[in-house]
Structure formats: C-alpha cells, structure tokens
C-alpha cells in the first residue's frame, strides 16, 4: 500500500480544479456540438423502447429516453445529459477504487484525473454512446471487488453481479467482467478458496438474469444480434489484411489514450506482472485482471475485426495501476518508471500531449485545418468532418422540398437517424434499400408493403439511378423519379460533397423485384 499522503494537501486543489475544468469543457463542447451519426441512431432507438436492439443492448436508449422525457424535448444537451452524469459518477468511483486498492488519496486523485485526461475522455465522456454507460458500471464492479478485498465480505459478489448485469445491458462487452473476476480468483492464492463458496456463483447468476431481456429479444428476432456479432468479429482471410488491421488497431489505441499515457500503461502492466512473480499482490492482481480486455482485443485485432473503442473499459484499472507504479519508489519492478517520470511530471506531460491532440481535432472539426480542395477528395475518409458537418443544415433544407403526402426515406440507417433528429418536427424516416444487409430500422419495419402507391422523398449519399451490372437500386420500383436539387455540404465557403434528394412517384414494392419482407439474418452483403 502506498504511504505518501503527508504532503497531499497542497496538491489536492489543483487536481480538483483540473477535473472540474474537464467537466466544464464537456458541458461547453457537447452542448454546442450537434449529435454525430451514432448518437442519432441511439436516440432513434429511444423512440422505440424495446427489450434490446439489433446492434447492442438497450441501456443507452433507456437513458436517452429518460432524459428527453424529463426535459420534454430532444436536443444535443438533453440527449447527452445522462452520460455527462455518468462521466461524473465514474470519476468518483475511480477515485474511491484507487484509494481502496492503493491506500492513498493521492493515488485516487491522480487516477481520477488520468481517467479524465485521455483524449477518449476529453472527447467522448458525455457523448450518448454505449461505452459511457458501460464504463460506469465496469467501474462499479471494480470498486465492489476492491471493497471485497478491503473488507473480505463476500456479499460484495452480489454487487459485482448487479454491476456486471448492468454493464451487459449497456454493451455486450460488459460480459467480460465475469471472466476477469474468475481469472482474478483463480490467480489469487489467498482468495481462490472463495470459488468453493456460493457467493461468487450467486453473483454470476444475478449477472445472468440481466441478460434475459437480450435473450428474449433475440428469440423474437431471429437471433439477429448474435449473428451480427459473429459476422463483424469473424476473421479476415488474407494474412496481410490481418496484420494491417492489427497494427491499425494498436495505432488507434495511441490516439484513443494518447501516446504518452499508452506507453506508460504498457510499462506499468509489464512491471506489475513481473512483480507478481516476486511477491503476490492481490490488489494489483485485480487491476491486471480487470484490464484483460486490452490484451483480448489486441490479439483479436490480428485475427478479425476490432473497433478502437471496444477495450476502453480496460484502461480504468490499468490507469490506476499506472498511477500506483509512478507513486511507488520502493518496488524494484516499478522503480525505473517512477524515477524516470514521477507522477507530477507524468500528469503534466501527458496532459500537454492529450490537450494538444484535442485542440487539433477540435480546431479541425470547427474551423477545418485542410484546404477545401483536399477535403473534397478525402471527404468520407475524414471522419471528423464527415460526422460533424452538414447534417443540421440538411435537416433545415429538406422541409422546402417535402410535400404533404411524402414519405421520407433513406438508404442507410445512419442517414435515417440523422434525418429524424435534424428535420424540424423530428418525423419518422423509413429505411429503404434493395440490399439484404439488415439494420435496426428493419426491426421496426420488416415489410415495404405499406408504402405501395406512396410518393417517397428519397435521400442518399449517392444519386439514385437505374440498376446496373454493378449496383442494384430501387429506381425501377417507382413509376417515375423526379430529381430534386441536392444539398451541398459547405466547408470554407466551398461545397465538398452532396447529399442527393429525389422524389419517387407511386412506389411499387412488388415489381420489378419484390422488396421485403426483410430478414434480420446478417450476411454482410
């Protein structure tokens, strides 16, 4: 346990001020940034409450719905409000968890600051995405396990079970809490005996009960979520593609957590693992086991698909581990880290690196750091501009084209959700596409039969034209198609891309080809 709190008083208030500054930044940044496509999708989920959803479990939708009902309207702030609260709660839990496992208030404060300073937190904490709810409940499971270590009261396994269940309802990767706890108990000589008692298994059963809504939804919907997960995580066939994806995933972690923090975490994990062979420390062992998603998805990235954010919950415990390593100058396994950095220098340098990354990305999102002619060429590859530019303007543009009896439709679920949120009055938008790849919008409308004879205001990132040998379209399912003026996304006063709009008259879902009812079986077509 760390015993270095004697002079902590003079450090406490600067740390609190820094954390407070991060929350002020979140309030300003997120209140003025329009919802990005993923957030719009989850907001669309919240308008159709269900046991679960096609892509994931439903906690995000439930929190959004609760917030928008309380405020009585849907705005970027009201959609994100519960996740801002979740970020604050997570910060407190990280602090108390670090104090429990380290015995040091200084370690707790620096761990809480570390959690807030990573670029992922500076940008993502408070956004309406699955990860913020998952991280909060993952932190609660970590605190519960730390409390179990402190008190040796095995009843905390029940709270771990509840936290695990809520984490699973937040995102499927929350299930990894259970094997992490199992690995910790198996690896711990002191606490391995608990596996022979009922409390850990009752906790696991409690967690399993929270999966019943997910299983019930999948039972009713062709096991769509499970098929979807199996497909997106399936291995690539090409060796070099796997190597490229694996290395790309590691690079994405550098940007997610910042290069300085990333390499410090790797060093702390290594040194703490080595120290376990010299003197077993159950507190550090717990932190290591709760960080296993970092290893799991790093390996998985070389075999199949892994998104940059899938392992973020692993940084909670390994961040605490890193702070403990920087504060502990007595452990020979971590001495080289603490002597070379020291916690103050570590935080100061890491903060500079993280803030610089955030400033550059924020400036690009608001001002645009590349010339318009470059952006015009790379428009979809530049995810920052793609996700933040044009959608609010498109929502304001379309009402001038909509006629009374038009049904609004789009050919991607992201675009459907963006239109629903940004068009005044927030109307329902139909997903209308001829290909077989299913989405959550297909769960709500499996058939197009009710659109027979309707006029469709169709919005797409591509112009709607006749079916060709390389592209299947719905062009022939209309008696006629009226091309309307496209919406031009502006950047530095110049158009960089167009969103195409047309009105299809007298829609026929039966010929020349039958459209729907759509299967939820994920084929990836």
pLDDT at residue 525, as a whole number = 44
What whole-number distance in Å separates Cα of residue 216 and Cα of residue 305?
Answer: 27
End-to-end Cα separation, the chain, in angstroms: 55
**147 CA to centre of own chain:** 28
What is Dmax (Cα atoms) for the chain?
80
Q: What is the pLDDT of residue 3?
A: 54
Helices of type H across 432-520: 440-444
498 sits in which H/E element: strand 494-505
Pair type for strands 456-460 and 494-505: antiparallel
CA distances from 238 to 242, 243, 245, 304 (A): 6, 9, 11, 10
Helices (H), 291-382: 292-300, 314-327, 335-340, 343-366, 372-378
The predicted pLDDT at position 244 comes to 85
Closest alpha carbon to 67 in 39, 26, 29: 39
Looking at the DSSP bridge assignments, the partners of residue 21 are none
Closest CA to 432 of 503, 524, 523, 498: 503
pLDDT at position 31 is 84
Contact 154, 199 (CB under 8 A): yes
Positions of the chain with pLDDT lower than 70, given as ranges: 1-9, 232-237, 331-337, 341, 522-525
331 Cβ contact partners less than 8 Å away, ≥ 6 residues apart:
271, 275, 325
pLDDT tens digits for range 403-443: 999 999 999 999 999 999 999 999 999 999 988 788 999 99
333/336 Cα distance (integer angstroms): 7
Instruction: Find, among 357, 368, 358, 323, the residue nearest to 342 by Cα.
Output: 323
| pLDDT for residue 307 | 85
């Amino acid at each position: 346990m760390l015993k270095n709190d004697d002079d902590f008083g003079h450090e406490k208030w600067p740390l609190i001020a820094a954390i407070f500054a991060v929350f002020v930044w979140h309030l300003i940044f997120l209140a003025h940034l329009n919802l990005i496509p993923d957030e719009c999708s989850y907001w669309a989920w919240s308008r159709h409450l269900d046991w679960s959803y096609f892509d994931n479990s439903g906690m995000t939708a439930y929190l959004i719905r609760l917030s928008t009902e309380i405020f009585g309207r849907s705005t970027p702030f009201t959609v994100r409000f519960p996740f801002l609260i979740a970020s604050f709660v997570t910060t407190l839990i990280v602090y108390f968890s670090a104090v429990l496992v380290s015995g040091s208030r200084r370690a707790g404060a620096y761990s809480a600051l570390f959690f807030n300073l990573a670029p992922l937190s500076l940008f993502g904490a408070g956004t309406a995405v699955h990860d913020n709810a998952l991280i909060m409940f993952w932190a609660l499971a970590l605190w519960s396990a730390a409390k179990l270590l402190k008190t040796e009261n095995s009843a905390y396994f029940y709270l771990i079970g509840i936290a695990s269940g809520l984490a699973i309802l937040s995102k499927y990767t929350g299930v990894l809490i259970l094997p992490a706890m199992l690995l910790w108990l198996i690896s711990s000589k002191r606490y391995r005996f608990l596996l022979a008692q009922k409390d850990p298994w009752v906790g696991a059963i409690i967690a399993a009960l929270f999966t019943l809504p997910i299983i019930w939804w999948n039972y009713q919907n062709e096991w769509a979520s499970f098929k979807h997960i199996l497909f997106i995580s399936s291995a690539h066939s090409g060796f070099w593609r796997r190597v490229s994806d694996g290395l790309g995933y590691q690079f994405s972690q550098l940007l997610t957590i910042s290069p300085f923090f990333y390499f410090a975490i790797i060093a702390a994990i290594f040194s703490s693992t080595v120290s376990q062979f010299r003197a077993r420390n159950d507190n550090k062992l717990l932190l290591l086991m709760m960080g296993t998603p970092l290893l799991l998805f790093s390996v998985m990235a070389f075999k199949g698909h892994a998104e940059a954010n899938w392992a973020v919950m692993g940084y909670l415990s390994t961040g605490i581990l890193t702070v403990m390593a920087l504060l502990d100058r007595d452990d020979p396994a971590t001495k080289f880290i603490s002597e070379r950095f020291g916690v103050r220098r570590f935080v100061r340098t890491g903060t500079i690196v993280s803030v610089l990354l955030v400033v550059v990305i924020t400036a690009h999102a608001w001002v645009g750091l590349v010339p318009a002619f470059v952006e015009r060429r790379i428009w979809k590859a530049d995810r920052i501009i793609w996700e933040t530019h044009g959608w609010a303007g498109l929502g304001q543009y379309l009402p001038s084209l909509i006629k009374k009896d038009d049904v609004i439709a789009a050919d991607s679920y992201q675009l459907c959700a963006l239109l629903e949120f940004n068009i005044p009055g927030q109307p329902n938008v139909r997903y209308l596409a001829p290909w077989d790849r299913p989405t959550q919008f297909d769960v709500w409308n499996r058939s197009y039969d009710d659109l027979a004879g309707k006029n469709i205001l169709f919005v797409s990132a591509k112009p709607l034209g006749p079916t060709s040998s390389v592209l299947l379209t719905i062009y022939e399912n209309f008696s006629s198609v009226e091309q309307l003026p496209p919406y031009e996304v502006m950047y530095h006063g110049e158009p960089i891309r167009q969103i195409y709009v047309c009105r299809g008259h007298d829609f026929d879902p039966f010929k020349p080809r039958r459209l729907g009812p759509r299967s939820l079986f994920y084929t990836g077509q």
